[in-house]
A and B are shown apart, each in its own frame.
Chain A
Amino acid sequence: MRETVITFEKITKSYPFYHHIVGIKNFLFALPSSLKAIRTSRFEALRDISFEVYRGETFGVIGRNGAGKSTILGLIAEVLRADKGKFLIEGRVSPLLELGAGFHPELTGKENIMLNGVLLGLTRRDVLKKMDEIIEFSELVNFIDQPIRTYSSGMLARLGFSVITHLEPEILLIDEVLAVGDIDFQKKCIDKMMDFKKSGVTIILVSHSMEDVKKICDRVMWVENHTVRMIGEPDEVIASYRHIE
């Protein structure tokens, strides 16, 4: 029996069109219509979607831009709240941030490791304990006391990835991050993800690269028009997805 770690049951998520209320001046001058706009004009990002993710599997999410993939990740990371439906999660979620998010350019590599590690849920003691290991993995020993504004984008990606790989995540969220960095670094990312897979980490991967999805995922979900179009074996789902495109 497989253990479920993430459950989406008939989840609906919509956003108000916040552009109606960009300014307090406009809002107050058109108060009745502004209030009405908040209530009525909503944009539906996910409609009635249901799926489950099992412990230790690598779950791919594919679909066109604007289909609702990022909203799904936002719900899993619990930065968004569903309007309707049941959402359950078990375990600590670690999102893999985009390049340099949460970093400060004026701080050194070391200081940024601390900042990023704590923002992602570690205590300072945890980060200190792992500091040497993180630096070693990043291969940035010679630059670690330099402010990161002097880093290249490849070096930034290495630094960010090194922090995330030492978080000991239970559920890892990856949103298109593999697209950055050079070929070597991408390979290193994939290798590291394979290690995670082996050690039983649940991975949710959102990607446009069908090669990556095919290579690492155990199951794939195809999201289209804000609903689930298909869930199944990577080969099967990708084939249908390509067929439509």
Chain B
Amino acid sequence: MHITINTKIQHYFDLIIVLTQKEIKVRYKNSFLGYFWSIAHPLAFAFVFFIAFKVIMRIQMEDYALFLIAGLFPWQWFANSVNAAPMLFIGNASIIKKVNFPRNIIPFAAVLQDMIHFILAIIVIIIFLFIYHKTPSFSWIYGIPILLSIQFLMTYGVSLIISSLNLFFRDLERLTNLFITLLFYFTPVIYSETMIPEKYKSIINLNPLTPMMISWRNLFLDGRLDAFYLMISLSYAIILFGVGYIIYKKLSWRFAEVL
């Protein structure tokens, strides 16, 4: 039997669907509670930051709770995917050692699953908008798909880098967790980019997550899509995906050796 190109693409596609379905089914097994728990985490953090910065340190910003929510959910998608990356291939060792299938589908499905979850969490952002007497904008219709695509590419690239390298350097997992935690405070999620002192403003875009998170928040709060931030995010996404794919390609045939 000759496997045609078509059935091969169909099989890729089916692998993605089945693996993503698996993740989602496991996550939402107790449908309501599953959903509740996965939005509870960013909400709890929003609450803590609100107490710390608004109530205690009296940050000068209107609607600070809404501001936090609009940044924490997209951040959570990125952080969850990257923090899960080190274990992706190790967790599927038994199948990687026996079956020859495109391994990059595992991180692809994992990031896709977190993305779907983020999309579901947008409902929470809408609820908060209404609480603060605001409404979603029409620009969401094209803005959300654009930003989703860019962040997906970026996150998938980082996930490929970390999941592949972690097979060869097993302490990468600790470094990843530490790095993500530090990166969070260097990204304008709990503060706005306008609050950054003038002399540091020129370097904030060295952090690939900065333009990404600013774009999300501008879109959610004001329906604004800034071409400047969009282009930087897209460039970072393409670079990170390129690097990730090259690393994965170089190492993937050794996966079965090291597992």
- B-binding residues in A (CB < 8 A): 15, 18, 21-25, 27, 74, 77-81, 91-93, 95, 97-98, 101-102, 104, 106-107, 111, 114-115, 118-124, 170, 173, 175
Contacts and interface: CB of A to CB of B under 8 A. Distances in A.
A22 B174 CA distance: 13
Contacts of B134: none
B95 A101 contact: yes
B100 A77 contact: yes
A22 B169 CA distance: 5
A175 B3 CA distance: 26
Interface of B: 1, 3, 7, 10-11, 14-15, 17-19, 21-22, 25-26, 29, 92, 94-101, 168-172, 175, 253, 255-258
Given A24-B169, A115-B18, A120 B99 contact: yes
A23 B170 contact: yes
B168 A123 contact: no
B94 A123 contact: no
Contact of B26 (A74, A102, A104, A123): A104
Contacts of A175: 98
Given A80-B257, A115-B18, A97 B98 contact: yes
B178 to A, nearest CB: 12
Given A91-B1, A119-B101, A123-B11, 15 more contacts: A18-B168, A24-B171, A74-B256, A77-B98, A80-B257, A95-B99, A98-B94, A98-B98, A101-B94, A102-B92, A104-B26, A111-B22, A111-B25, A114-B18, A119-B95
Contacts of A170: 1
A97 B10 contact: no
B256 to A, nearest CB: 4
B3 A24 contact: no
A104 B26 CA distance: 9
Top 5 nearest A-B pairs by Cβ distance? A101-B94, A24-B169, A79-B256, A23-B171, A102-B95
Contacts of B11: 118, 121-123
27 contacts: A18-B168, A18-B257, A22-B171, A23-B171, A74-B97, A77-B98, A77-B99, A77-B100, A78-B100, A79-B96, A79-B97, A79-B98, A79-B99, A79-B100, A80-B256, A80-B257, A91-B1, A92-B1, A98-B94, A104-B26, A107-B25, A115-B22, A119-B99, A119-B101, A120-B99, A121-B99, A124-B17
A114 B97 CA distance: 20
Contacts of A91: 1
Contacts of A78: 100
A80 B7 CA distance: 24
A23 to B, nearest CB: 4
A80 B98 CA distance: 9
A97 B169 contact: no
